[in-house]
């Protein structure tokens, strides 16, 4: 990285403003923003390009994004034959397993309702066991060799919060949902340290070129064995720490520890795990890795009907929470105990809650806390939040972290489970802001591509992939969306006082775009390129000094 103690970026359009400004940086901070005609000569003349704050993707599985790029990427296969061809050409990893992630809902297999099964992949993964996660991280297909290695057969019960999909005779088909992915963990050898380092470095290189300067990596730890390719364990956390100690990590990273995983989490698991770990670790500014948040999977996703809803799905079920418990009453009590275990130990709790009943229960839980209520706990996804719960969230100083790009990508497909009206009402962004909530927008990559441009456009248009002309009253402004992808992420991390905006006294985390952006044109926004990225006033990506 290059940089100096003083930098003067002249003739810049700051954010959505059209006038020419000059940004003066000393050491790591912005010290002044002046009209260009009143400013000293620039050290770099931006020639009218737009500059925005560094993007904070505040819910991005950066480690698993790296794995999706360095292991076996499956997201480019639109159908079964393409997936089989990809697997046929692949080689197992160093320890003999095929591990990959990202297969799409469009891949239709030979199982009931077009579901993937071991039969679909056995002959093209004959060289070893295979664990192949889907795009959402909530499902995986394994081959027969994996079922044998993990001892999964007709007698294997569904784990709490998970489903082993079975055929008519009761035999596992190879498709696993939610916590059932964790059944493979004991048989799966860990990847090498070099592969973990490669995943993190590759992810950060990709994110920097996109203008992302900070991430919250949501869900590394013992529960990581149930998520995506199952390698996001405490070893991945240690890899982050090692890279940071060596000064080899440039993106600001907040790690959320995960215990229990996608389902079956108990308060005992969380309490024992946190006590073994020790107190939260919030890094000083000169370091890059903080480990101070707790991730809880309280429910699943509508596609698998594992979001807990107050009104039923198409099949007249309501789903239920995926934490431990045999009935709703027990699961509610368990979530209360899980959150208390984290908050009482000083951990900020981010809870995956997509169904309205789950969200209400999480709010009830925070409301009932006697200690640790001030830690800015937040709802992750919050797709089907009830409007009546928004004032309660605001009163408790809670936030919502949601992903308009996923809503755009899933589009009308979820209407078959939820009904069209309820599906279209997901993520009521305008109502959240009007209620005074802190709204953070993120991508949840590798569920979708870590493209902040798509997130912004989806938030300000409310359109859908299969309904490009759709819009509604929940659209927000460009300025609000930019703030939700920059300053709100800093707020989530308790760092809004020194980063996330272009203003005097703030860290010089800046993205120099490739031109003056027309923020009124979604097509122009989607075509934005990144010239350079500064973190703490130093060039982390690009060649800023060469700009005319």
Please report, for the chain, the start and end positions of each structural domain, with discontinuous segments joined by +.
Answer: 6-54+509-546
Q: Tell me, which fold does domain 6-54+509-546 have in CATH?
A: Urease, subunit C; domain 1 (2.30.40)
Q: Retrieve residue 528's tokens.
A: 């934005």
Supply the pLDDT for residue 172: 95
Q: What stretches of 345-442 show up as alpha helix (H) in DSSP?
A: 356-367, 390-395, 404-410, 415-418, 420-424, 429-434
The reported pLDDT for the residue numbered 188 is 82
175: helix, strand or coil: strand
CA-to-CA dists, residue 336 to 87, 214, 364, 376, angstroms: 43, 30, 8, 16
Q: What is the pLDDT of residues 281-324, one digit of tens each?
A: 999 888 899 999 999 999 999 988 999 999 999 999 999 999 99
Query: CA torsion sign, 144 to 148 to 150 to 154?
Result: positive
d(CA 357, CA 311): 9
Q: Which helix (H) or strand (E) holds 329?
A: helix 328-343
pLDDT score for 1: 37
Between strands 348-353 and 378-381, the pairing is parallel
Query: Measured at the alpha carbon of residue 311, what is the angle toward residues 310 and 313, in degrees to the nearest 5?
Result: 120
388: which residues sit within 8 A by CB, 6+ positions away?
none
Q: What is the DSSP string of 265-290?
A: --HHHHHHHHHHH-S-BPPPTTS-EE
Instruction: Using 70 as the pLDDT threshold, list the residues of the chain that sit under it.
Output: 1-4, 545-548
- Please give the DSSP secondary-structure letter assigned to residue 520: T
pLDDT in tens, 234-254: 999 999 999 999 999 989 999
Q: Strands, DSSP E only, in 469-537?
A: 510-513, 530-535
Token pair of 542 as six digits: 């690009």
Nearest to 46 by CA among 14, 16, 17: 14
Asked if residues 472 and 447 have their Cβ atoms less than 8 Å apart, the reply is no
């Amino acid at each position: 990285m290059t940089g100096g103690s003083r930098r003067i970026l002249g003739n810049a359009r700051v954010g959505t403003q059209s006038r020419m400004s000059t940004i003066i940086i000393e050491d790591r901070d912005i010290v002044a923003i002046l009209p260009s005609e009143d400013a000293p000569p620039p050290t770099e003349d931006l020639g009218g390009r737009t500059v925005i704050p560094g993007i904070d993707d505040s819910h991005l599985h950066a480690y698993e994004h790296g794995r999706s790029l360095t292991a076996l990427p499956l997201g480019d296969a639109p159908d079964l034959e393409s997936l089989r061809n990809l697997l046929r050409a692949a080689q197992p990893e160093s320890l003999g397993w095929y591990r990959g992630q990202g297969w799409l809902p469009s891949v239709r297999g030979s199982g009931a309702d077009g579901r993937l099964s071991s039969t679909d992949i056995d002959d093209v993964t004959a060289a070893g066991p295979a664990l192949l996660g889907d795009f959402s991280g909530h499902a995986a297909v394994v081959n027969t060799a994996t079922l044998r290695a993990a001892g999964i057969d007709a007698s294997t019960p569904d784990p709490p919060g998970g489903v082993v999909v079975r055929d008519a005779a009761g035999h596992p088909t190879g498709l696993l949902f939610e916590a059932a992915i964790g059944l493979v963990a004991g048989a799966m050898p860990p990847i090498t340290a070099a592969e973990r380092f490669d995943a993190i470095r590759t992810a950060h290189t990709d994110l920097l070129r996109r203008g992302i300067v900070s991430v919250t990596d949501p869900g590394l730890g013992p529960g990581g064995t149930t998520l995506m390719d199952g390698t996001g364990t405490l070893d991945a956390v240690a890899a982050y720490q090692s890279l940071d100690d060596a000064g080899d990590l440039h993106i600001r990273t907040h790690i959320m520890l995960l215990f229990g995983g996608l389902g079956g989490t108990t308060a005992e698991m969380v309490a024992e795990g946190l006590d073994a770990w020790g107190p939260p670790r919030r890094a000083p500014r000169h370091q890059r890795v903080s480990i101070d948040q707790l991730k809880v999977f309280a429910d699943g996703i509508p596609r698998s009907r594992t979001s807990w809803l107050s009104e039923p799905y198409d099949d007249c079920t309501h789903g239920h929470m995926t934490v431990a418990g045999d009935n709703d009453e027990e699961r509610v009590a368990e979530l209360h105990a899980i959150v208390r275990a984290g908050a009482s130990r000083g951990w900020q709790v981010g809870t995956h809650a997509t169904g309205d009943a789950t969200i209400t229960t999480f709010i009830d839980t925070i409301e009932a806390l006697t200690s640790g209520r001030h830690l800015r706990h937040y709802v992750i996804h919050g797709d089907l939040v009830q409007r009546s719960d928004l004032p309660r969230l605001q009163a408790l100083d809670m936030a919502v972290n949601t992903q308009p790009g996923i809503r755009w990508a899933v589009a009308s497909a979820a209407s078959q489970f939820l009904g069209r009206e309820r599906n279209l009402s997901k993520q009521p962004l305008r109502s959240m802001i009007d209620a005074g909530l802190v709204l953070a927008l993120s991508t949840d990559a590798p569920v979708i591509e870590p493209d902040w441009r798509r997130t912004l456009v989806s938030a300000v248009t409310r359109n859908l992939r299969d309904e490009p002309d759709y819009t509604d009253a929940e659209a927000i402004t460009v300025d609000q969306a930019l703030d939700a992808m920059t300053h709100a992420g800093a707020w989530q991390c308790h760092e809004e006082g020194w980063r996330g905006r272009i203003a005097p006294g703030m860290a010089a985390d800046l993205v120099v775009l490739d031109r003056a952006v027309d923020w009124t044109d979604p097509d122009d926004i989607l075509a934005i390129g990144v010239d350079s990225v500064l973190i703490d006033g130093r060039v982390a990506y690009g060649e800023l000094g060469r700009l005319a």
